[in-house]
Amino acid sequence: MSKYPSRRWVIAGSLLVVVLILIYNHLRSADFAAQRTAPISAEASLVPDVAVVYRSPARYQASVSGFGAANSRFSLTLSSEVAGRVTHLSEHFATGNAVTAGQLLAELEDASYQAAVASAEQTLASAEVDYLEEQREGAQALAEWRSSGLDGDPDSELVLRKPQLAAAAAAVRQARTALASARHDLQQTQIRAPFDAIITSRAIAPGSYLQGGGEVAELLGSDRVEVSVALSARDWASLPDEQQLTDGSWTATLLNAEDNQQWQGVVVRTEHHLDDTTRQRALVVALDQPLSQNPALLPGTFVQVSIPGRELDGLWKLPSSALSQRGYLWYVTADKTLASVAAEPVFSDAQAIYIEAPEALANAPQAILTHPLSSYLDGMQVNPVEDTSDE
C-alpha cells in the first residue's frame, strides 16, 4: 500500500488545527471588544463619599502659644569682696540646696580685719579729741582778739584758728569713713546669700584661700522664673495692646510637655527688639516662688506657654486634619463638586485650628472636608457625609 494517502491525512489534520486556533482567537478578540464597549456597571459609577463638617463664621478668643525655658530672674557668680582663708562652711552650703537672702554660707579668717577695725576706732577717737581741742583753742583765740581792743577782723584766719578747726573736722570725717570701711570689710568675711537662690556649684572648701574677687559659688535666683517666648507678627496681632497685656493681670498657662504638669504665670513685659536669629519679638511670662508651687517648677524646665488673646470675628473652627499638607481647605459646592482654597490658621489650640473664612464663602454655612486626600481634584463629583466625630 502507498504511504502518500497517510501524508495527506497528516497535512489535512494540521490545517484543521490551524483553522480551529484562528477561530478561537477570533472569538476571544470579539469577547474582549464587547467587554470594552459594554456600559460601566452601577458599582463602578458610584460617587465617593467625603466626610465634611458644616461651618459658619463665628467669634472666638484667640490663643497664642510658644515654647521657652523657665530661667531664674537672677543668676550670679558669687565672689568674695575680701581676701582670707576659709575657716567655716555652712552645712546648707551645698550644690542643689535652696538658700534664703542673708543666709550664711561661709566664713573667712577675720583677725586682720578685727585689727583694722580697732585701729580705725583709735584713729577716729584721736581725731575727735583733736577736733575738740581745736574748738577750744579757736574759742580762746577769738576771746583774746576781742579783748585786745583792735577793730575789725584779723588779717589772717589763722589768728582765730579757723583753718585748723576745718582740718580737724576733716580728719574726723576721714576717720569715720575709714572705720566704716574697716567694719564693712570685717562684715564681708561672713559670706552670705545675696538673694533667695539655688546653689548650682561651690568653688571653695575649708582651708581654701580666697583673693578679693575670687569665685565662691554659682547661684540661681529662686524667687521668680521667667519664660521668654518668641512670637510671630501674626501672633502679636492676636494679642491685646501692650498696656493691657503688661498690666500684671494677663495670665498665661505653662505646660511641661514631658509630664503634663501645669502652672499659671503672668505676663510681665514685652521685649522691644527683634532676635538676631529668629527676627521675632519676645514676650516674657513670670511665675513667682516657683519652688513653692505644687508641683515645683524647677529652673531650666522647658515649657509650652499658652496666652489668651483678643476675641476675633469671622473664623471657622476646624479639626487640624482639615488643612491639607499643601495648605489648602477643600469644601463641597452647592452642586456637590469639590473646590479648594488656600488657607493659613490665624491661631490654633489643642482641639482645633481657627481659619479666617474667605469673603466669598462667609455668607452661608460651608461643607468643609475633614480629611482631604492628595488625589482630590477641583470639580470632582462627591457625596458629602457629615462627620460628627469632631463634635
**Cα 312 from chain centroid?**
25
**pLDDT score recorded for residue 332:** 95
- Residue found by looking up cell 516657683 in the block: 290
C-alpha cell at 50: 467625603
C-alpha cell at 126: 584721736
**pLDDT score recorded for residue 2:** 46
SS (H, E, C) 56-97: CCEEEEEEEEEEEEEEECCEEEEECCCCEEEEEECCCCCCCC
**pLDDT score recorded for residue 145:** 73
Residue 288 CA to residue 351 CA, distance in Å, equals 29
- Residue found by looking up cell 516662688 in the block: 289
Contact between 306 and 253 (Cβ < 8 Å): yes
C-alpha cell at 254: 505653662
**pLDDT score recorded for residue 41:** 45
CB contact set of 197 (below 8 Å; sequence gap of 6+) = 72, 74, 76, 98, 99, 219, 220, 221, 222
**pLDDT score recorded for residue 283:** 94
Residue 234 CA to residue 223 CA, distance in Å, equals 33
DSSP string, 102-170: T-EEEEE--HHHHHHHHHHHHHHHHHHHHHHHHHHHHHHHHHHHHHTT--S--SSTTTTTHHHHHHHHH
- Nearest to residue 187, comparing CAs of 80, 89, 99? 80
**pLDDT score recorded for residue 59:** 93
Provide the 3-class DSSP secondary structure of residue 5. Answer: helix
Provide the 3-class DSSP secondary structure of residue 101. Answer: coil
List of domains in the chain: 49-60+313-386 (2.40.420.20), 64-72+223-310 (2.40.30.170), 76-106+192-222 (2.40.50.100), 110-188 (1.10.287)
CB contact set of 261 (below 8 Å; sequence gap of 6+) = 255, 295
- Residue found by looking up cell 495670665 in the block: 251
Residue 176 CA to residue 166 CA, distance in Å, equals 15
Segment (H or E) for 274? strand 261-274
- Nearest to residue 303, comparing CAs of 70, 34, 46? 70
pLDDT tens-digit profile, the chain (391 residues): 444 456 666 666 666 666 666 666 666 665 544 444 445 444 445 889 999 999 999 999 998 999 999 999 999 999 999 999 999 999 999 999 999 999 999 999 999 999 999 999 999 999 999 999 989 988 887 777 778 777 767 777 777 778 888 999 999 999 999 999 999 999 999 999 999 999 999 999 999 999 999 999 999 999 999 999 999 988 898 899 888 998 989 999 999 988 889 999 999 999 989 888 888 999 999 999 999 999 999 999 999 999 999 999 999 999 999 999 899 999 999 999 999 999 999 888 878 999 999 998 989 999 999 999 988 999 999 999 998 875 5
Amino acid code (one letter) for 304: Q
**Cα 50 from chain centroid?**
41
What's the Cα-to-Cα distance from 180 to each of 112, 116, 122, 191, rounded to whole Å?
Answer: 15, 11, 13, 18
